[in-house]
Amino acid sequence: MEAKENIKAIYPITIDDLQNDAIKRIGRRLNDDELHTAKKCVEWGLSSIIDITLKSAIEEAVDKNRQTIFKRFNKK
């Protein structure tokens, strides 16, 4: 894998994403104080589930690849 590929974000969440969701949920953009609090909550929420998410993603990728290799092997 190339070095450029290694630094790409997988799932970025922007301030615009947060503000657009606020508009959908409460009908307005967040003010600066609310935005600061919301950013901290998003950071905390993501950091608390990142280990589980990454573990599940890696296991799924390995299992799916293993199944593909097994199917190819049995066709020969």
Sorted by sequence, the CB contacts under 8 Å of residue 29 that are 6+ apart come out as 19, 22, 23
pLDDT in tens, 26-44: 999 999 999 999 999 999 9
pLDDT of residue 69: 67
The Cα–Cα gap between 22 and 55 comes to 30
Question: Are the beta carbons of 57 and 40 closer than 8 angstroms?
Answer: no
Which amino acid does the sequence have at 74?
N
pLDDT in tens, 4-27: 778 888 889 999 999 999 999 999
